[in-house]
Amino acid sequence: MCDTLCVRTDDAMLFAKNSDRHPDEVQVVERHDARAAGRELHTQYLTIPDANAVAFLGSRPTWLRGVEHGVNEHGVAIGNEKIWTVDRPRDHPPALLGMDLVRLGLERGRTAEEAFSVVTELLQEHGQGGSGEPHRDEPYYSSFLVADAASAFVVETSNRTWVAREVGEGAAISNRIGLTTDWDRASPDVVAGTDFDTYRWPRMPTAIADHRLATTRAVVARGAETTPADLARVLRSHGPGREETQLPVALDESGRGFSVCMHRRESQAQTTASMIAELRAGVPPRAWACLGNPCVSVYVPCFPPEAPPELADERTWARFGALRDRVEEQPDDLFTVRVALAEVERDLWESGALAFASGTPGLLREFTRTAFAPVDAALHRLGV
């Protein structure tokens, strides 16, 4: 389970995603370098021809080659969602995972339009298949949000079938089909006028996504006034009426206990990484990345494809995981943790903004080299 959104401001497109996976599944944020074409490319389950790849910053579960979300050097951002459809993924052999397609779109797309074409063309050629989870055999299909400074696309899929809509002002997606008849592009097998909601598996309750979509769509509706800080707040949301320092309510039949900042061990879904990106025309992208649940973590400023090296260290993820486990056992501790980390985050955002505004490569490198030090100190003070 995940939540992804984008929203246009006066001079940028903002993108954000929470990656929800197995509670013990380590996820890292790391730089991926550009490479030349000509070799074979190994995805999770397939070997396909390679193409030129641009550099990108991606958030990757360590057992996967693909990524959950990321931003490339040209300012293209992509994230995906698990969705349930009437096509049964177990009926198909291992092929491309949604995370493979996110990575391939980031590697090959210099614009959102190009990345959208990469994802849909590879999907039609190779299909989807193979388990997307490490602890059980769980194949699934994906939806995608692809954005750059000028445009964005929602793509929803069922095996090799897909529909898409350009969403110039913003959109939010979650773990359910959202496009009905309002798509404007589709694979050749989709008849004009088709309601894509007929592809939704009717036995899967949409409530697991609907409450979260209400939260993310509300921030998209704010439009031009939205800031990266607003996105950080929504990614830390524990549900309507809940403060950042209050854990989600108990799960009930309505799905109310599923929140954007996910804490649901009984459903084997927990937020394991998160990212916010700012995409501007003619300006290098910048991002804010965190490991683990956003409520017990820090969004560290990054300048894609660069990021502080500590974010690529599995041990860093484990420290935030330990902090999450502590507050879930002792919920009253969340207030102390949030206050301590919020101060560090605020200072980091201010110093990161100054480095970014300078445009000086040396200052950007120095900030990236030292950015995690205050986070490390705060984690030590919190005992992890």
Asked if 14 and 276 count as a contact pair (C-beta separation under 8 A), the reply is yes
- Whether 6 is catalytic is no
- Of 272, 100, 81, give the one whose Cα is nearest residue 171: 81
Contacts (Cβ under 8 Å, ≥6 apart) of 270: 20, 21, 22, 23, 262, 263, 264, 293, 324
190: tokens are 């989709």
Rg of the chain over all Cα atoms, to the nearest angstrom: 19
Give the C-alpha separation, 71 to 52, whole Å. 17
DSSP label at residue 265: G
Closest listed residue to residue 248, CA positions, set 235, 230, 262: 262
Helix, strand, coil abundance in the chain, percent, nearest 5: 35, 30, 40
Any bridge partners for residue 113, and if so which?
Answer: none
Residue 74 near residue 54, CB atoms below 8 Å = yes
Residue 340 makes CB contacts below 8 A (sequence gap 6+) with 378, 381, 382
Alpha helices in the chain (DSSP H): 98-108, 112-126, 207-221, 228-235, 314-329, 333-358, 361-370, 372-381
For residues 106 and 129, give the distance between their C-alpha atoms in angstroms, rounded to a whole number.
20
6, 15 Cβ separation under 8 angstroms: yes
Catalytic residue among 2, 6, 290, 295: 2
Tokens coding 102: 């996110």
CA dist 252 to 62, 217, 325, Å?
Answer: 32, 22, 22
In sign, the C-alpha dihedral spanning 318, 322, 323, 325 is positive
Catalytic residues: 2
